[in-house]
Structure 1
Amino acid sequence: MPALAFVDLETTGATASHDRITEIGIVEVDEHGAIREWQQLVNPGTQIPPFIEQLTGITNEMVADAPPFEAVAAETLRRLEGRLFIAHNARFDYSFLKSEFKRLGIDFRSNVTCTVKLSRALYPEHHRHNLDSLIERHGLHAEARHRALADAQLIHQFWQKIHVDRSSEAIEAALRKQNARPSLPPQLDAGFIDDLPDGPGVYLFYGENNLPIYVGKAKEIRKRVLAHFSGDLRSAKEMALVQQVRRIDWIVTAGEIGALLTESALVKELLPTQNRLLRKNDEVCTWTLVDEGEGWLRPQLVLANDLDFGLATSCYGLFKNSKEANTVLRQLVESHNLCDMLTGQQPIKPGKPCFGHQIRRCKGACVGKEPLAKHTMRLMAALTGLKLVSWPFPGPAILREDDEAHVIDGWRYLGTAKSDQDVHQLLDSRRPPFDRDTYKILAKYVARMKPLAAISGAFA
């Protein structure tokens, strides 16, 4: 039997890149079955949020006099080295330890087994595989849930349970499947796999001469990146992309919104060769309505960069160029029996009918047979499906996502802040041009935005 380490951590939050460990619990089992247990409180160097205190029972007072991780790093490493790292949702615990060791200049690596995945593989008839479900299902004994050593003991009990319930062949097969590595092209160092984070963000593929070739977003970076290298590649294009990759990098975000915004911004900044849909759109334009008097509103094409998208401005559609905008308007004119002259499809000739009226499509607003106001009402009805969301704030706004704040002004994404100081720096920076893709992302979340002027601070 290989040497094993059943591991559980308590932390200040869920993100390994900036949250910290508050407690370590390890159950060591050696090759002969001898068991040793170790538990250590850790001073995280930051405040434990109240809801985490309530969940774990570990308070700020309890860790105030505890050693920092750097003081227990050597002991932790000694208990883990040469052992199979076993944890529930193992990537969580493993990524936190890797991050803590990395801050000390230590490159920690270990073979990892996740008991959540093991439970799913060995007990597929069940739908829930969290630790509480395993306690109930298998009669595990928990002395203090959400304390590190107690949870590590539960994981050890589950390991013992599966070796009673299932054959060694079934367990070995489940472990092999779980630890199977994707087939990587020879130019990539397989070591990067252990560093891939599990959370949301953006990943970047670089080719020869450090040239960016692809930027992608993901709810789970690790899962999405490894999918590129699975044997079941979906197309020749995907295979060609994989063969070009020489280096992989990533940016962790607080959530999906941050990943979407970062991806869109990076594609426009780096112009990776394999991204086409999110390229720069400097010619984006929209239709507005100009009041010509007597009830007549005339469509006018305006570059999106020239607008503030305020409450007073009604805009219809975002088009990549004027050709696309005019094509769409032309289709609406024809399908809604609108006047060619009043909609700008042909020059106005006072007293003369437009071409549409001559072929009995236009209802005659151009020659007084239909009131201008009625024609305008039909025009606005035709444009309804294209109406954009107006910018609802008098100035900048923020969109909170976990512990980050996305700063937006007039649908323009200024950047993401992690402190009020970051917010002020973003507001003082150059305002970026309007971007169609950014608008499409942000318009879905406008109800969650807060005007910056109405709050004392984004992080208050």
Structure 2
Amino acid sequence: MDFVTIDFETATSERDSPCEIGLTYVKNKEIVGTESWLIKPKSYPYFNPFNISIHGIRPEDVANQPEFHELWSEIKSKLENQLVIAHNASFDFSVLRKTLTTYDLPFPNLNYACSYIFSKKVWTGLASYDLKTLCWYNNINLNHHRAAADSRACAELTLKAFELTNTNSVHEFQEKLKISIGELFEGGYRPAESKGSSTKKDLAIIAGDPAKRKHESIFYGNSVVFTGTLTSMSRAQAQQLIADIGGINAPSVTKTTNFLVVGQQDYKVVGEDGMSSKQEKAVKLIEQGSFLEVISEKEFLCNI
């Protein structure tokens, strides 16, 4: 099980604005090295303040660094024909694909997987599966949001997952962790996905306790949607509370939604504005006159 882990940091919300890349190399289930490169992004000298607040990389840090296309031949040689793993691979590989497209560079040939996806199969029942939470749970040191540190933490987490599942080959990897390996190739890609759990949970089957009905609650008889990670409880626990109160759990924001409860968001997923797709849709519906209220986790807790 040799593999490489990858992590990107970006200068803006645009996926083709990498300002740092980190790679960690694993041979025979041992970490043998970590490298990182600062990159002058195409947006230089502009960096979004939100992104700076996350990773701390500033325009002056990359002023004398090469652009991505100048580094690519070196980096490509380390990724070509490898199994590459990223935590939230949909982000990191969209950065890679969009940046290669911007510089008119062909895609490399490689297989890839997402540690965010397979971590859900290994450590079931956690409230969150972001890298920081998983590293804390597994006693892995992490200097979060710098590419070298994040790629190394991803490698350590992956090795831990392989150890716990007794995974010793790529074939076992897919079978034991119930995931499909993604592929990047010249001209296109196939995403890494979860297997055997593609059907979404039917929230309508969550039965409430009639003894816990709260007719006076703002949630009683109303449709409630959750987005982001709650810090006080798991989403499943929150949805059970809504069912007990007499509310209606819904998976997505529609014109019939009454409340959207917003937890903590992962900036790599939601972008610089900090809003998930559910929250963005809610804002648009409110602007169009829908009776829909966006509330924080604190407001949610005050009304249960």
Classify the secondary structure of the residue corresponding to 1:126: coil
Deviation for aligned residue 1:33? 4.2
- Whether the aligned pair in 2 keeps the contact of 1:117 and 1:178 (CA below 8 Å) is no
From 28, 36, 40, give the equivalent of 1:39: 36
Matched, 1:157 2:159: no
The one-letter code sitting in structure 2 at the alignment partner of 1:158 is L
1:52 equivalenced with 2:54 (yes/no): no
Task: Go from structure 1 to structure 2 and tell me whether the alpha carbon gap of 1:160 and 1:105 turns closer, same or farther (over 3 Å shift).
Answer: closer
Q: Measured at CA, do residues 58 and 29 of structure 1 come closer, stay the same or move farther in structure 2, by a change above 3 Å? A: same
TM-aligned CA deviation for residue 94 of structure 1: 1.0
Kindly state the Cα deviation for residue 166 of structure 1 after the two structures are TM-superposed: 2.6
Deviation at 1:8, TM superposition (A): 0.5
Residue 134 to residue 446, structure 1, CA distance change in 2 (3 Å): same
In structure 2, runs of 5+ residues without a counterpart are 200-270, 274-282, 291-304
Q: Does 1:10 align with 2:2?
A: no
Taking structure 1 as the reference length, the TM-score comes to: 0.39
Structure number with the bigger relative contact order (C-alpha 8 A, sep ≥ 6) is 2
DSSP 3-state at the match of 1:22: strand
Equivalent residue, structure 2, for 1:445: 287
Match of 1:30 among 22, 27, 30: 27
Q: Distance in 1 between matches of 2:62 and 2:41?
A: 8
Residue of structure 2 equivalent to 1:454? none
Q: 1:67 to 1:180 in 2, by over 3 A?
A: closer
For 2:118, the equivalent position in structure 1 comes to 118
- Matched to 1:22, the amino acid is C
Q: Distance in 2 between matches of 1:138 and 1:111?
A: 26
**Equivalent residue number for residue 67 of structure 2:** 68
CA distance in structure 2 between the aligned counterparts of 1:403 and 1:7, rounded to whole angstroms: 21
Shift of 1:168: 2.3
| Deviation of the 1:447 alpha carbon | 7.0
Letter in 2 for 1:99: K
TM-superposed CA distance for 1:54, in Å, is: 1.3
Distance in structure 1 (CA, Å) of the matches to 2:107 and 2:162: 32
Q: How does 1:280-299 map to 2 (within 5 A)?
A: none
Distance 1:121 1:35, change over 3 A: same
Q: Is the 8 A contact 2:174 2:180 kept in 1?
A: no
Alpha-carbon separation, structure 1, partners of 2:63 and 2:89 = 27
Shift of 1:177: 2.8
1:86–1:115 CA contact under 8 A, matched in 2: yes
Alpha-carbon offset, residue 157 of structure 1: 1.0
In 1, the alpha carbon distance for the partners of 2:57 and 2:20 equals 8
What's the offset of the Cα at 1:121? 1.1
Aligned position for 2:132: 132
- Per the alignment, do residues 77 and 49 of structure 1 end up closer, same or farther by CA in structure 2, a change over 3 Å counting? same
**Alignment root-mean-square deviation, CA:** 3.6
Structure of larger gyration radius: 1
Q: Say whether the 8 Å CA contact 1:89–1:115 is kept in structure 2.
A: yes
Q: Which amino acid aligns with 1:28?
A: Y
State how far apart, in whole Å, the 2-side matches of 1:4 and 1:180 are: 14
Runs of 5+ unmatched residues, structure 1: 182-188, 199-221, 224-229, 232-401, 405-440, 449-460
**TM-score normalised according to structure 2 size:** 0.57
SS in 2 for 1:163: helix
